Chains A and B, each alone.
Chain A
Amino acid sequence: MSGTFLGMPSFQAAAKEALGNAQQRRNLEHATRTIRGKRAQVVAELDDWEGLRRTAAAIKDNVLTHLDSYLLQLEESLTRAGATVHWASDAEEANRIITGLVRATGTDEVVKVKSMATQEIGLNEALEEAGIRAWETDLAELIVQLGHDRPSHILVPAVHRNRAEIREIFLREMGQVGAPPPAVLTSDPRELAEAARVHLREKFLRARVAVSGANFAVADTGTLVVVESEGNGRMCLTLPETLISVVGIEKVVPRLEDLEVFLQLLPRSSTGERMNPYTSTWTGVTPGDGPQDVHVVLLDNGRTDALADSVGRQALRCIRCSACLNVCPVYQRVGGHAYGSVYPGPIGAILNPQLRGTTSEVDQSLPYASSLCGACGDVCPVGIEIPDLIVHLRTRVVDEHRGGVPSGEQLAMKGAAWLFADHRRWEKAQKGAELGGRVLGGKDTIGRLPGPLAAWSDARDAPTPPAETFRTWWKREKGGRR
């Protein structure tokens, strides 16, 4: 089960199970509340946050609507700087390219920088099948990997685990794959982090190949950027001889100077810091400094499908900050696993159905995993109108199901639309409700509500209908007026 999300139940079913996990709900509640507060504080420090967001959105929209030329420019810049560029249409092709590159070095292990793209393509599993061990070096990713678990948050993949659970995982698993934790280990986060430092250091020092993603890829210089906190990224990007970076094609920014916008937005939105501890930039190969064998795999894997949707396209602005997860009341209660993807939360609800298509049960259910409260759209640093996109994708799911034998919902919606299309029909339907309210009284009259009102009230203890609609009252009291 580790690392894969195939055959996921629909969001609704998975959510129901997750809601029953009291420990996880406490962990999530604490974590999201903490990070929300930090974000709000550092965002408020900037004079023109809204202006920065608008600029970022405009830069990304410029990139996306000129992606063909920017990709060619990026390729040229990278090649000029001594990097080798590979193109991968899908996960399978990317994994094949990377496996081949690792094999060519003669090594059988790689160290990995936390990277959403490599999780998305299931790289670790593909490498494992090829007999190559991939060591996750981000602390949270290490916790997930050692726990044979799945990530549940973009920034803090082990957010669903608390310190006691992490200690247990370290004691049980660490020694089997490298330097063991100290015999006496408490659940103090400092001790746990120290155990990870010791465990991973021997891996960093001996590693010959590293695999990373990139937060940004600068077209005009060929510079790649990794934004991180722990220094595991710097270790991977610096010490090995070979570096393979998997970069989604939407990660391009046109000019180096564009980074000034994103380096202000990303840390504040992501960890709630003015700046993250470490940001690394590298431009191909620098003689005498860092990896001398540098590869970049440009990954499509569904991104061009999203690009083809003129409305849905803006989801590709995403810089993977996870601010939308932290403010989402649904995510906060259900956690990340129910989304059946490495991209959970509101961004996952709009990204997964676009990258993977809407053929699976879970991808069809994701656009409905939202109360449309709008908190996600408000915090998105690149101005993705997440609620609008959710509605857009619901429409896509509904439209894809048209034409067959109509479902109950389709019939109810069609019937209601027919009622509302003429106010006289609607009034007649209301009369039925009035009658129900007057004669029957109690709560079992709910089912007698007209049209979609009936469907809504099925799930609730809705109040019973009143004895008289507003319309009836108006006609009686004010009828002469119009």
Chain B
Amino acid sequence: MTSLPGSGLRVALFATCFNDTMWPETPRAVVTVLERLGVSVDFPLEQTCCGQMFTNTGYAREALPLVERFADVFEEYDAVVAPSGSCVGSVRHQHAGVARGCGRPALADRATAAAGKVYELSELLIDVLGVTDVGATFPHRVTYHPTCHSLRMLRVADKPLRLLREVRGIELVDLPEAEECCGFGGTFAMKNSDTSVAMGADKAQHVRETRAEVLVAGDNSCLAHIGGLLTRQRSGTRVMHLAEVLASTERDFAAANELGGPPYAAGARDGREATA
């Protein structure tokens, strides 16, 4: 087993507050994928939130303690992974600035150092572990939405697509106008909800044009925004985080077929929506 790409590597999982609370299946899938690759995953329980929703709404002072907490919790690790382009973007692109803006230059330096070790999932897999084939099977028609912060803040480029192309059984189709924002934008969705919905409706329309069964992305908040509109349109397309697709294996599908239900990764979320 020493030949696994992640052998000997200890990685801290930053689940992010949204995923921890709302979409636990996503960080669980990250654990599944990383452990399958031989990585030893740690989840420091002291973690809470990256502070993005404070920073991006203008509440830098409220974000400051979270910037400090993040450095406290994660600076001891060699690598930190988070299944959210947006939260990684905030850590990498905003933490030091928040500290500096609040007159804490020493914390800004610590934040910069900590941010240097934080990876979005596709970055960790490709840049650190050097793998594109994570041993996943997902026999569905899938389209991928590159979320704005993954694309333009982290510049993950086609890394998620390179991972998806190696998934067995997958039928990957291009999303028209893929690089355009879905309209979520954190508090934008509240403060400018009409514009946000107008943008989301166009994104959902493009998703429908692909006739994909599953829309995949690296951020659950964007997926929830688009997914809410897709559900309302009765499109039949479900949304799923990249990590969950990568966690799916042949065994999950075999088991699901035996039980006559949906496979593992999709099951949790679909089952939940059925109660609504």
Contact = CB atoms under 8 A, between A and B. Distances in A.
| Direct contact, A vs B (beta carbon within 8 Å) | yes
B41 to A, nearest CB: 8
Contacts of B232: 461
A465 B21 contact: yes
Of the candidates A378, A470, A474, A475, the one having the most CB atoms from chain B within 10 angstroms of its own CB is: A470
Nearest to B153: A374
Contacts of B190: 455-456, 458-459
Contacts of A461: 228, 231-232
Contacts of A395: 58-60, 101
Interface string A1-31: 0000000000110011001000000000000
A377 B152 contact: yes
Interface in A404-441: 409, 413-414, 416-417, 419-423, 426, 430, 433, 437, 441
Contacts of A453: 17-18, 21-22
B276 interface: yes
Interface residues of A, number: 71
A365 to B, nearest CB: 8
B198 interface: yes
B197 to A, nearest CB: 9
B265 to A, nearest CB: 14
A48 B110 CA distance: 34
Given A417-B62, A470-B28, A370 B188 contact: yes
Given A371-B199, A377-B152, A433 B49 contact: no
Interface in B41-80: 42-49, 51, 53-63, 65-66, 69
A372 interface: yes
Interface stretch (A92-100, A147-155, A261-269, A329-337): A329-337
A474 B24 CA distance: 10
Contact of A397 (B58, B187, B199): B58
Contacts of A413: 54, 57, 59, 62
A437 B24 CA distance: 13
Nearest to A474: B43
B57 to A, nearest CB: 6
A374 to B, nearest CB: 4
Contact of A423 (B47, B61, B181): B47
Given A369-B192, A423-B47, A468 B54 contact: no
Q: Is the interface of A mostly helix, strand, loop or mixed?
A: helix
A171 B18 CA distance: 58
Interface in B193-227: 193-196, 198-199, 221, 224-225, 227
A269 to B, nearest CB: 17
Contact of A330 (B55, B179, B199): B199
A463 interface: yes
Interface in A307-344: 311, 329-330, 333-334
A371 B148 contact: yes
Contacts of A416: 53-54, 62
B143 to A, nearest CB: 19
B200 to A, nearest CB: 9
B15 interface: yes
A481 B43 CA distance: 9
B139 interface: no
Given A395-B101, A463-B272, A371 B185 contact: yes
Contacts of B221: 456
B67 to A, nearest CB: 11
Nearest to B24: A470
B133 interface: no
B37 to A, nearest CB: 17
Contacts of B184: 371
B235 to A, nearest CB: 14
Given A370-B188, A466-B23, 8 more contacts: A19-B194, A371-B186, A395-B58, A409-B57, A413-B59, A419-B48, A423-B48, A450-B21
Interface of B: 15, 17-25, 27-28, 31, 42-49, 51, 53-63, 65-66, 69, 94, 97, 101, 148-149, 151-153, 179-181, 183-196, 198-199, 221, 224-225, 227-228, 231-232, 268-269, 272-273, 275-276
Interface of A: 11-12, 15-16, 19, 311, 329-330, 333-334, 367-375, 377-378, 388, 391, 394-399, 409, 413-414, 416-417, 419-423, 426, 430, 433, 437, 441-443, 449-450, 452-453, 455-456, 458-466, 468-471, 473-475, 478, 481-482
5 contacts: A330-B199, A373-B148, A373-B152, A374-B152, A461-B232
